[in-house]
Amino acid sequence: MTTAAEWYEVGNFWVALAGVVITLLIGMITLWDSYRKEMPQRRIVYKCEVEPLHKGSGAKDAGLVVHHNGQLVESPRIAFLGIGNDGKRDVPSSLFDGDKPLVLDFAVPVLEILSRTSKPPGTVEPELQLSGTKLYIGPSLLAARQLVNVSLLLNGDPILSVSNPIINVREVNAKDVASRRQLFSGRLRIVSLITAAVSILLPVVLGLRSSLSVPLIVIGMFFVLVAVLAQGAARKILGSSMTAKDKSI
């Protein structure tokens, strides 16, 4: 026969379990909102790294000079540009408003396209054109998850700005994407730790016997593991940020 004390303890178990579920639901709603904002259907992401042509070689001191089409390049720089669509859907050429291209203005003369590649294999490279300080891209199809790497010869230190005519598609710097994804991983870690704490501490606070406490403690340990994995994911995101360099240059 079940005593009143046992009924009371079982009731406390369900109260504890309800507390864990409510905590988890609130956390998951918050995470879903963050994920929805962080992973849009379409988004243009770019990154630019610039190096002097003479870097580390002592060539400048040795009197090496660079000419392009017979003209002296006073401050030669190589820009490694990575630009792509990290959304889940293609960006068709029809989304380029008025058939205008995506424009990247480096604020210094862009002299030559040294190389270009497109990943993954099989994706079509978009149309690229140079004029003065600007690189024009498209209008062309940018497939989902497609990354285009372009190396450029510049004359001077660039200050990059982007003019985006693509309808309802944002452009963001890859560094900002890495920061926001780290923030998402941080939120996942916090939600997991709070859920773990509620799962482990509530049985103690409510005085549940071990047979009723064990399931909640197991749930708590599971979310501790999730928090550890989220921490590792955050480090991986920062360590594997989008690279623009083409090592063949």
In this structure, is residue 246 part of a structural domain? no
Pair (90, 154) in one structural domain? yes
Pair (157, 60) in one structural domain? yes
Cα 126 to Cα 40, 48, 147, distances in angstroms: 21, 18, 10
How far apart are alpha carbons 62 and 56 in whole angstroms?
12
Single out the residue in 168, 201, 226 at which a domain terminates.
168
Helix (H/G/I), strand (E/B), else coil: 52:
strand
pTM to 2 decimal places = 0.61
Single out the residue in 119, 138, 168 at which a domain terminates.
168
Query: Phi/psi at 201 (nearest 5 deg)?
Result: -85, -35
Tens-of-pLDDT digits for all 249 residues of the chain? 445 455 445 565 566 666 666 766 666 666 566 555 555 577 888 999 998 876 555 555 456 788 888 888 888 999 999 998 887 889 999 999 999 999 999 999 999 999 999 998 889 899 999 999 999 999 999 998 899 999 999 999 999 999 999 998 888 887 766 555 665 666 677 777 777 777 777 666 666 666 666 776 777 777 777 766 766 655 544 344 455 554 443
- Going by C-alpha positions, the residue among 235, 218, 227, 230 that lies closest to residue 192 is 227
In this structure, is residue 220 part of a structural domain? yes
In this structure, is residue 217 part of a structural domain? yes
- Please answer whether residues 52 and 76 qualify as being in contact, where contact means their C-beta atoms are separated by less than 8 angstroms: yes
Can you give the CATH number for the domain in which 58 is found?
2.60.40
Two tokens at 12?
A: 């406390």
Pair (139, 216) in one structural domain? no
Range of the domain at 229: 4-39+178-239
How far apart are alpha carbons 215 and 232 in whole angstroms?
26
How far apart are alpha carbons 138 and 94 in whole angstroms?
11
